[in-house]
Amino acid sequence: MDKFRSSVVRAKLQAKSFMNDAGTKIVSSSSDLAQRSFTLPGLSRQAGDILRSFLADPSDKKTALNAIPKPVLLRAKGLAVFRVIKAGFVFSGKAGSGIVIARLPDGSWSAPSCIGTGGLGWGLQVGADVSDFVIVLNSDEAVRAFSKGGNVTIGGNLSAAAGPIGTGGAVQTALLNPAPMLSYSKSQGLFAGLSLEGTVLVELKDVNKKFYGSSFAAEQILQGVVPPPEDASTLYETIERAEGLDDSQLPDEAYIPSTTGEHLNLPSDRKDSNDRTVFDADAGTHGFM
Cα separations (Å) of 272 from 143, 170, 174, 175, 260?
A: 23, 11, 7, 9, 24
Q: Are 226 and 216 in contact (CB under 8 A)?
A: yes
How many domains does the chain contain in total? 1
At 269, the pLDDT band (50, 70, 90 cuts) reads low
Q: Are 30 and 116 in contact (CB under 8 A)?
A: yes
At 241, the pLDDT band (50, 70, 90 cuts) reads very high
Q: Is the pLDDT of residue 128 over 90?
A: no
At 27, the pLDDT band (50, 70, 90 cuts) reads very low
pLDDT tens per residue across span 2-24: 543 444 344 344 433 433 443 44
Residue 115 structural domain:
2-286
With a CB cutoff of 8 Å and minimum separation 6, the contacts of 103 are 76, 77, 78, 109, 110
Q: Are 111 and 226 in contact (CB under 8 A)?
A: yes
Provide the percentage of residues in the chain whose pLDDT is more than 70: 72
For the chain, give the mean pLDDT: 78
Q: Are 39 and 31 in contact (CB under 8 A)?
A: no
- The pLDDT of 112-128, averaged and rounded, is 70
Count of C-beta atoms within a 10 Å radius of residue 108: 11
- DSSP lists the bridge partners of residue 60 as 57
| Model pLDDT, residue 5 | 44
First to last CA, the chain: 36
Q: Are 68 and 165 in contact (CB under 8 A)?
A: yes
- DSSP per residue over 130-152, as a string? EEEEEEEE-SHHHHHHHHSSSEE
| Model pLDDT, residue 81 | 97
Round to whole Å and give the CA distance between 79 and 147: 12
Cα separations (Å) of 282 from 169, 248, 268?
A: 31, 37, 29
pLDDT tens per residue across span 29-49: 444 444 545 899 999 999 999
Round to whole Å and give the CA distance between 114 and 104: 18
| Model pLDDT, residue 281 | 30
| Model pLDDT, residue 95 | 84
pLDDT tens per residue across span 58-89: 999 999 999 999 999 999 999 999 999 887 65
pLDDT tens per residue across span 150-193: 688 887 767 888 899 999 888 988 888 888 999 999 987 888 88
Q: Are 135 and 195 in contact (CB under 8 A)?
A: no
Q: Which residue has the higher pLDDT, 205 or 9?
A: 205
| Model pLDDT, residue 159 | 83
Round to whole Å and give the CA distance between 162 and 184: 6
For residue 283, give the amino acid letter. A
| Model pLDDT, residue 52 | 95
Round to whole Å and give the CA distance between 76 and 259: 25
| Model pLDDT, residue 116 | 94
Q: Residue 201: exposed, middle, or buried by beta-carbon count in 10 A (0-12, 13-18, 19+)? A: buried
